[in-house]
Amino acid sequence: MGATGPLEIIPLGGLGEIGMNLLVYGYDNKLLIVDCGLAFPGGDAPGVDVIIPDVGFLIENRDRVVGFVLTHGHEDHMGAMPYVWPNIEGPIYGSAMTLGLLRGKFREHRLLEKATLIEVGNRQPFQVGPFNLCMIQVSHSIVDSSALAIKTPLGTVIHTGDFKIDHTPVDQRPTDLYSFARHGESGVLALLSDSTNINRRGATVTEQVVSEALSKVFAKATGLIIVATFASNIQRIQQIFDAAAGVGRKVVISGRSMQTNIEVARGLKFLRIPEGMILDVRSFSHHERKEMVVLSSGSQGEHNSSLSRIAHGEHRDIDIRPGDTVVLSSRFIPGNEQTIWGLVNRMSRAGAEVIHEYNLPEIHVSGHAPQEDLKLMLALTRPKYFIPIHGEIRHLHSHRALAIQMGVAPEHALVVENGQRVTIGEDGMAIDGQVPSGRVFVDGKGIGDISDIVLRDRRHLSEDGLVVVVLVVEKSTGNILQRPELLTRGVIYEEDNRLLLEQAKESVEEALRLGPRGMDFAEDEGAGPMELAQRAVRRFFKRKLGRRPAVIPLVMEM
């Protein structure tokens, strides 16, 4: 069958940023969605639960969508599915573990009965619209991860997803180099490759070094051992169980996500845990501390996570005592360092020895390919065209430079950002227009109702606080009947600043007495008591404290 038009590649998330991965392939007027992830908010989005990609383009073109394909079960690759899928629908393809995790999410959101989930195995071709796909096994920090070979009449595209090349992984499922090489021999039109660790030199360090490090730490420990890791890192969880069994300890699982993922992985035979190895967390106090390992979620110090509650002494069953050992078997993700160090300090103050990647680097190995792995991927696939994916702009440019070093023609290596439409056809590869893209904030049950203005107000409140001015006026005349009252939150401690509050009240009274002209509000001569009080309070706190609190006037008419 001959080609019927160009191949479109449209990223809606994950390019120019870490997380929120969503990439669309278009061919013959059909759209295939690969991954649908979320991102977690930083300090610039107070109160927001998660951030998902803006999929307005897909909603407008839902009739063209032929399905979703998920490369693996991490939140940044499938976490947005419960929010995005109901607006688009379509069958969902993925590996056993990926769909096992997705089922839990869809069940929680009451979507499971409506969705069609289709499990596919590696090296098993399947057709989705005009796209013939095949999953290729890769190593990553979650089991059952896959890259994709996407065949169209124009040629084959390799989409790596997240990967690394570990020849001796814990799950004994190494990256399928043979399949990549076979596609490279047949001819690869384009390679889209993970850029997360492009600036790390060398090759992947095998997970076996983590097993050895855990075994040594466990052998030395004399009190309770607490290990925190990502709940999705099933290989690491297996290593922790193996190390515990090696020293005759039982394991207590703490954290809802940890419990859920372990249940899914055991059901799918990705975890091998001997019977009687797991203790109920409620029986913690009935066992000797030196006989237990606590496996906890919350390695990034997330608020209200299991580890955070343990560190703050707020966990119902588990506490930290002198002589205990705490292991953070995960990377300090950029942006989380301050929170994690705060937990480390708190646990150290409680008398625990805290082990992490900075004092024992072997306690964690990244799930992403460093430079030598990325070179090998390029060498095996030998693509005509190259697009770096999954990373900030600096990562993408560094990966493009590496591809050129490995023989890709400079005009065939393209850095693309979210919303840009790339076309590959007989005339080559080029950026050909733009589609709407961006971020959508999820806050509680609200999806997309948090605008930039709302976030600005939240940041304003968090940085400068709030002052409420209460005025009592006569309804018929508008005259003030009693002195203004001021209530502050996050501006000053009122008990220690009564004189300052009195001065603030006097400034409001003066503004009301002088009126707009007397207060230099001539541009708004119609300003009433509410506007006058608001402006007077703003001026007062700016002049006295250099602060700009949000001011809310309340007028009570009598």
- Closest of 2, 59, 4, 1 to residue 33, by C-alpha: 59
Domains of the chain: 7-202+366-447 (3.60.15.10), 208-361 (3.40.50.10710), 465-557 (3.10.20.580)
The pLDDT of 396-409, averaged and rounded, is 97
**Average pLDDT over the chain, rounded to whole?**
90
Contact assessment for residue 164 and residue 202, using Cβ atoms and an 8 Å cutoff? no
pLDDT of 217 over the 50 cut: yes
C-alpha dist (Å) from residue 496 to 160, 198, 358, 440, 544:
60, 54, 43, 42, 15
Give DSSP secondary structure letters for 306-340.
HHHHHHTT--SS----TT-EEEE-S---TT-HHHH
Between β-strands 466-473 and 485-489, what pairing exists: parallel, antiparallel or unpaired?
antiparallel
Task: Point out the residues that are catalytic.
Answer: 194, 368
The pLDDT score that the predictor gives to residue 329 is 95
Kindly report the pTM of this predicted structure.
0.83
Contacts of 479 (CB under 8 A, 6+ apart): 473
- Report which DSSP code applies to 280: P
Residue 438 burial (CB count, 10 A): 13
pLDDT tens across 111-131, in order? Answer: 999 999 999 999 999 999 999
At residue 127, the 3 state secondary structure works out as: strand
pLDDT of residue 1: 46
Strand partners, 92: 68, 117
Q: Estimate to the nearest angstrom the gap between the alpha carbon of 414 and the chain centroid.
A: 25
Rounded CA separation 123/370 (Å) = 25
- Residues near 281 by beta carbon (within 8 Å), at least 6 away in sequence: 252, 253, 254, 317, 318
CA distance 30 to 150: 14
Q: What is d(CA 414, CA 397) in angstroms, rounded to the nearest whole number?
A: 9
Structure tokens at 240: 């922790």
- Whether the per-residue pLDDT at 334 is higher than 80: the answer is no
- What digits encode the pLDDT tens for the residues 29-43? 999 999 999 988 765
pLDDT 10s digits, 466-486: 888 888 877 776 677 788 888
| Contacts of 449-455 spanning 24+ positions with Cβ under 8 A | 450/47, 450/48, 455/44, 455/45, 455/46, 455/48
Q: Is 264 helix (H, G, I), strand (E, B) or coil?
A: helix
Q: Is the pLDDT of residue 450 over 60?
A: no
